[in-house]
Structures are given as structure tokens and as C-alpha cells.
């Protein structure tokens, strides 16, 4: 059971994926200096139905699918089926990762062309249960698939032939390895938020992170602003 947030007191610390450009702009507009400290590893993964014969896509193929250049699974070694590609809502953590980590400078088809899904569980359920399920593809973070929304009808695709194993994520051999950050205001480094963040980076804190299902961040001492 969660504790209610005190609306009169600003949040001391958040644990989140890297902020979107809109969120960074909001911080600048309020003259808020934020400190981001990596606390654990995860992987941004692409999922499809287990019966889809495709088991790996290249980064170029993924960008081709989500830009509209590739429209059939047959073009990437699969069946002759139109690809049903799903994306997340704007400014969600996974949508930010999709745009900045995957698509980069390649324009992504707008939501009306590729169905936008609210919530990670909704994405996973749609990919698993879509009426033409072997044609579907979506994306999420590995933690959600492994821990929160396990689904036997879903499989994770390798990227460039590399699977998102713990070893490949830590070494960044998997191309979409990513991190979660502890984010606090620079002015609060010596306050409650900063103290808790330092605990998260301690051996005890990292053990708790591992127990929760995430991959501890071995080099989590580096700070970026």
C-alpha cells in the first residue's frame, strides 16, 4: 500500500528513464537544475507474438517498420503479412526512448498511422491478443516483460542478432541497453532525496534493486546534468 503524497511538499526524488526534451524544457523554464544519477540497467525491447517466425530485427529494419518504409513481415524474413505496429503515448518513458534511442533522426509515423497505446500492460496485451497476432509488434522495457506483465504468448526479439541478456545489457552489446536514473534538484543534494539516492548506490541499495528485478548499475557513481 502506497503512502499518499504531500501535495504541499515537492517530490524529493524520482526514479525514471531519461527525461524527454519537453520535460527538460520544462525544467529549464522553471530555472530548475536537475541531477541525474544512473542507478540500474534495463533494456528497451521489441516484442511480437511467439508464433511469429521472425526472431531478430536489425536496427535499420526497426526504423523502417516505424517510419512506414517496411510494411510486411515478408520484407524482414517473415510471413506475407501486413505489420501491425503499436506505439506508446507521447512523453511516456518508452515513447521517449523510442524516439531518441531508436528512431533518432528518422521520422516516426504519427499515432493515427500506428496505433498509440496507453499503459505498458495495454501494449503487451495488444501484441499478444491482436486478432492477427503474429503480425503485431510493439516495444517496452525488459523489466515489465520479466516481472510485471509476463505473458506466455509474447517473445522478445533480438536486435542485430543480439539478445537482451543481463551480460549483453551490462556490456551494452545489446544496442538498446538503457538505464534508470535517480533524479533530484541540484539544491537538494544534501537533503532527504540526496541521502536516499546515495543509499541506492550502496551495496545494500543495489542488492534491493537486484531483488526488485532490475539489473544493478555497477558504475552508477557517475553523475550527469
Tell me the DSSP string of 77-142: TS-S-B-EEEEEPTTSHHHHHIIIIIITTSPPPPTTTSEEESSHHHHHHHHHH-TTGGGEEEEEEH
Q: In this structure, are residues 99 and 87 in contact, taking their beta carbons and an 8 Å threshold?
A: no
CB atoms within 10 A of CB 102: 19
Q: In this structure, are residues 34 and 26 in contact, taking their beta carbons and an 8 Å threshold?
A: no
Shortest CA distance to 122 belongs to which of 95, 157, 91, 87? 87
Give pLDDT, residue 221: 41
Q: In this structure, are residues 52 and 206 in contact, taking their beta carbons and an 8 Å threshold?
A: no
> What is the mean pLDDT for each group of 10 consecutive residues in the chain (225 residues)?
56 82 84 90 95 97 97 97 87 84 92 55 54 81 86 93 96 95 89 92 93 78 39
- Domains in the chain (CATH in brackets) are 1-225 (3.40.190.10)
Q: How far is CA 179 from CA 39, 44, 159, in A?
A: 7, 10, 18
H or E stretch at 157: none
What Rg, from alpha-carbon coordinates, does the chain have? 19
Give pLDDT, residue 71: 96
Residues whose CB is less than 8 angstroms from the CB of residue 24 and which lie 6 or more positions away in sequence, other chains included: none
H or E stretch at 195: helix 192-200
Give pLDDT, residue 117: 54
Amino acid at each position: 500500500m502506497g503512502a499518499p503524497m504531500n501535495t504541499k511538499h515537492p517530490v524529493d526524488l524520482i526514479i525514471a528513464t531519461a527525461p524527454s526534451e519537453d520535460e527538460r524544457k520544462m525544467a529549464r523554464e522553471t530555472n530548475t537544475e536537475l541531477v541525474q544519477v544512473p542507478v540500474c540497467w534495463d533494456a528497451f525491447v521489441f516484442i511480437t507474438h511467439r508464433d511469429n517466425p521472425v526472431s531478430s530485427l536489425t536496427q535499420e529494419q526497426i526504423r523502417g517498420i516505424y517510419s512506414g518504409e517496411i510494411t510486411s513481415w515478408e520484407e524482414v524474413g517473415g510471413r506475407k503479412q501486413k505489420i501491425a505496429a503499436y506505439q506508446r503515448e507521447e512523453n511516456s518513458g518508452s515513447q521517449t526512448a523510442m524516439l531518441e534511442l531508436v528512431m533518432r533522426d528518422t521520422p516516426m509515423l504519427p499515432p493515427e498511422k500506428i496505433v498509440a497505446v496507453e499503459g505498458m500492460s495495454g501494449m503487451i496485451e495488444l501484441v499478444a491478443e491482436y486478432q492477427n497476432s503474429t503480425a503485431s509488434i510493439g516495444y517496452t522495457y525488459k523489466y515489465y516483460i520479466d516481472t510485471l506483465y509476463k505473458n506466455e504468448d509474447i517473445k522478445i526479439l533480438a536486435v542485430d542478432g543480439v539478445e537482451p541478456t543481463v551480460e549483453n545489457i551490462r556490456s551494452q552489446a545489446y544496442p538498446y541497453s538503457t538505464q534508470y536514473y535517480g533524479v533530484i534538484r541540484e539544491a537538494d543534494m544534501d537533503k532527504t532525496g540526496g541521502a536516499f539516492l546515495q543509499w541506492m548506490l550502496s551495496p545494500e541499495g543495489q542488492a534491493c534493486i537486484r531483488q526488485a528485478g532490475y539489473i544493478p548499475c555497477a558504475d552508477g557513481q557517475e553523475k550527469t546534468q
